Amino acid sequence: MKRVVAIAAVPFRESQEVGYVEEHEVEWQIRCQNHGAKEWSPWQESDKSQHELYLTWKKPLLNENIYETVLHVGCSEANEASAENQIIDKVWSRAFKELTIRRKGSEVTLQYYGNYMDTGEISTTAGLLSNDN
């Protein structure tokens, strides 16, 4: 039996700056170790893949769910901002200007009113993102 190791380490920015990259290419490498062997095989090129990359200004709270829509709106609108007031200004002036925030990957416009207004489902981020109204 062989053990396979995959490591993804991609430096992005070393500053405290919000970032968004729509198509970031990751080059994967693998190496193997035969069962019971001490030596590892040399690293070998494996594959490449494209990913959206979100860089938050501060570390997200660990006890909170992280929603892709929230990351997308915040990071894409405040891309390259490095000060708190700059981040807030960019997100509010760009994302909320037209009042048409859409759930990531959908044409659904988020709204805190509508047919489900009395259900209580709009009191959380999860409830807002789960509604198709």
Is residue 115 assigned to a domain? Answer: no
Is residue 14 assigned to a domain? Answer: yes
Is residue 126 assigned to a domain? Answer: no
Is residue 37 assigned to a domain? Answer: yes
Q: Total domain count for the chain?
A: 1
Is residue 105 assigned to a domain? Answer: no
- Measure the CA–CA gap between 39 and 60, rounded to whole angstroms: 38
pLDDT of residue 37: 81
Q: Other CB atoms closer than 10 Å to residue 8's CB: what's the count?
A: 10
Q: Which residues contact 10 (CB under 8 A, 6 or more apart)?
A: 24, 26, 53
pLDDT of residue 81: 93
Is residue 119 assigned to a domain? Answer: no
Q: Is residue 8 scored above 50 in pLDDT? A: no
Residue pointed to by tokens 């035969």:
34
pLDDT of residue 89: 93
Provide the token pair at 32. Answer: 């193997």
Closest CA to 75 of 61, 58, 100: 58
Best mean pLDDT range from 15-24, 67-76, 104-113: 67-76
| pLDDT tier for residue 76 given thresholds of 50, 70 and 90 | very high
Instruction: Quote the mean pLDDT of the chain.
Output: 77
pLDDT in tens, 32-53: 887 778 888 888 898 899 988 8
pLDDT in tens, 113-124: 655 555 555 667
The boundaries of the domain holding residue 12 are: 2-97
Provide the token pair at 10. Answer: 């991609």
Is residue 117 assigned to a domain? Answer: no
With 0-12 / 13-18 / 19 or more C-beta atoms within 10 angstroms meaning exposed / middle / buried, residue 5 is exposed
Q: What average pLDDT does the segment 48-62 reach?
A: 82
Is residue 93 assigned to a domain? Answer: yes
